[in-house]
Structure 1
Amino acid sequence: MSEALLELRDLSGGYPPVSVFRGVSMSVGEQESVGLFGPNGHGKTTLLKTVAGLIDPWEGDVVFQGRRLNAEGKMRPRISRNFNYDLFQKRRIRAATVVEAGVIYVMQGNLLFPEMTVEEVLGVAPLAAKGRSGVREMRERVHHLFPRLQERRFSKIRYLSGGERQMVSIAVGLLALPKLLILDEPTLGLSPKLRLELMQAVRQIRESRVPLIIVDQNIEFLSGLVDRLLLFDHGAITREIDAASMPSHDEAMAMMFGESH
């Protein structure tokens, strides 16, 4: 495997007092694409939100290009449930620090500004690039990847279809000029036709050598897009599979829950 771009070292976290994931160690290499597969509700999104700086890690480290992005040591316990803990305790990881480093997280659910037009949203997105060069070239690439957005550029986000909003979300992530792009359930709720269209776009992103972490419930979607597949079950990585041994959906579920599943 190539030199590590991102390393998670014994990372644990959740929503106090509930632990969601624990002792997660994984890496993503330069120009590598890694898939994360597992049942809903087992902590994948919470893990990614922690990596993105939206949730504080309880312990462990998020290291990107050799730099630790979080505060060292364990998170201190909350003293009381009756006041806003965040007013009295500094964040252990900041989303702004993560974005400045070049880690861009495209959340599931198409969380965009509904009253802004496509053109307005895409115009704001490069502000997250924090001085990284290549915005004009990436804008041209985005137009090539998602020609439908050019057609809908003056439409408000609220009037787009679910698939079109997902295209905008990924386009926003790309316009931040990521050194690592994280896609959380990009095909959630999409029709088979739109899923195929999005898969082709993600394949082109991968071919452009943007490192990726992709979470999806569809093994067929991940096949051909990732170099390695990590099975995630009950808050922990339970197995790593290389692309040459990519299982079917049923095989992956059997690996996680037994042949009787």
Structure 2
Amino acid sequence: MSALLRVERLSGGYEPVQVFRDVDLVVEDRACVGLFGPNGHGKTTLLRTISGLIDPWSGDVIFDGVVLNRPGERRSRSSRNLNYDILVRRRMDPTRVARAGLVHVAQGSPLFPELTVAETLSVAVTAARAGGRAADVDMPYVLFPQLKARRQSKARFLSGGERQMLAMACGMLAAPRLLMLDEPTLGLSPKLRVELADAVHAIRATGVPIILVDQDIEFLRDLVDVLNIFDHGSISAAMARADIPDHDAVMAQMFGGAR
């Protein structure tokens, strides 16, 4: 397999606080790569930086052989009262990232609560077509049969698992060449986590590579080819699926004792 995404010595954060530093990450074609680590250690910030929502401070994001960022390092703000983006061109353009096919499904399944499932998917298709990429409009109902039964229900009336499936369906309608899922099981019951695992398996079956962030080791173990331990803003270990330990062993490794 060839590397579809290569992140090299990527650093970033929120001015003036650096959240992560010198991260190297590789995603092979058709692979699923996991990120596991405590809250507040930079996993979400890393995904937001790879997708260009946050400007990287330094390092490179290389997608299908193309460097998506401008060369050099990000200049620091000279004043907190000035708009940095007006004065200095960003190192990355999130529109360019999305149009390349690198699609980010954000944490918390952000949706329009008053739109129905069908209306939400219609908006997603329209946005994807405007960006030059769009999948088959019927594809979400094939991947997520629960959504077909709920297509006339407003998003605010969906269960947590159904909302997450709808968010992932919107991502898939953008015809991703790589899909980034940020904590899809956040706040879900064990039963709904099983349903979400089935949904991710369905996405994997389409051949779309995935970066999957989650805090449930068992959820990740069943899905990923490689698991990266993300600790204090850097990747401290990487292991193949067969070598992934159980939850207690990972806690002992990271914090010095079982939890």
Alignment partner, residue 93 of structure 1: 92
- Stretches of structure 2 that go unaligned for 5 or more consecutive residues are none
Q: Which aligned pairs between 1:203-218 and structure 2 lie closer than 5 A?
A: 203-218=201-216
Q: Which runs of 4+ in 1 moved over 4 A?
A: none
Deviation (angstroms), 1:27:
0.6
Residues of 2 paired with 1:164 and 1:256: CA distance?
33
- Stretches of structure 1 that go unaligned for 5 or more consecutive residues are none
CA RMSD of superposed structures (Å): 1.4
Report SS of the residue matched to 2:40: coil
Verify the 8 A CA contact 1:103 1:178 in the aligned structure 2.
Answer: yes
Deviation (angstroms), 1:203:
1.1
1:251 to 244, 249, 258: 249
Residues of 1 paired with 2:199 and 2:75: CA distance?
43
Deviation (angstroms), 1:44:
0.2
Paired residue type of 2:208:
V
Verify the 8 A CA contact 2:36 2:227 in the aligned structure 1.
Answer: yes
Deviation (angstroms), 1:260:
5.7
Residues of 1 paired with 2:100 and 2:218: CA distance?
31
Alignment partner, residue 228 of structure 1: 226
TM-score w.r.t. the length of structure 2 is 0.95
Alignment partner, residue 25 of structure 1: 24
Paired residue type of 1:128:
A
Residues of 2 paired with 1:199 and 1:260: CA distance?
26
Alignment partner, residue 107 of structure 1: 106
Paired residue type of 2:76:
P
Alignment partner, residue 142 of structure 1: 140
Verify the 8 A CA contact 1:23 1:60 in the aligned structure 2.
Answer: yes
Q: Which aligned pairs between 1:1-261 and structure 2 lie closer than 5 A?
A: 2-126=1-125, 127-128=127-128, 130-132=131-133, 135-136=135-136, 139-259=137-257
Residues of 1 paired with 2:145 and 2:258: CA distance?
45
Deviation (angstroms), 1:12:
0.2
Paired residue type of 2:128:
A
Paired residue type of 1:46:
T
Residues of 1 paired with 2:252 and 2:219: CA distance?
18
Residues 80-117 of structure 1, C-alpha deviations (whole Å, 9 max, x = no match):
01122222222221111110010000001111112222
Aligned identity (percent) is 56
Report SS of the residue matched to 1:53: coil
Verify the 8 A CA contact 2:249 2:258 in the aligned structure 1.
Answer: no
Deviation (angstroms), 1:258:
2.1
Residues of 2 paired with 1:131 and 1:13: CA distance?
29
How many pairs are equivalent?
257
Deviation (angstroms), 1:148:
1.9
Residues of 2 paired with 1:155 and 1:260: CA distance?
43
